Amino acid sequence: MSVSSATNLDALTLADIQDYADFIIETFKVPEERRENVVIEVLCMRDTVIEKSGWCKHIEIQQDLTHTFSPETLYSENPNRRIVCSKFDYFVDKFSPDWDILIKELKDIYCSRCSDREPSSPESVNEG
């Protein structure tokens, strides 16, 4: 699957992720030594789509994007992230580059008993 035909981020394979990273690196002239951070960003986007689709569309990942303000610093770091429920404005009061841990904490603290969960794909029921 090419980047241009990858319409669903949740369907990206590891090869697609590398293709997408190649596309970003080439388009934005990101130095090759920053590839790991580009790949991490694509993985974060993919995982967010998966969570929204299977768990709840209100899960949002907020990031410190100060590294994007200049081409010289674009993807120079793996930024801190925060997980938020956009419907109720719940959040885990912790920042980390590791979105998986933050999503799990948000789900454990707020989402597991929420009767207002709204997966983007209604047929999806993911208790993970």
pLDDT at 11: 75
Question: What is the tens place of the pLDDT at every residue in 41-55?
Answer: 999 999 999 999 999
What residue ranges do the domains of the chain occupy? 9-111
pLDDT digits (tens, 9 = 90+) for 2-39: 343 334 666 788 899 999 999 999 999 999 999 999 99
Percent of the chain having pLDDT more than 70? Answer: 87
For residue 115, the tally of other CB atoms under 10 A from its CB is 4
Q: pTM for this structure?
A: 0.83
Residue 86, pLDDT > 90, answer yes
Structure tokens at 36: 């790991």
Residues 65-88: b if buried by 16+ CB within 10 A, e if exposed: eebeeeeeebbbebbebbbbbeee
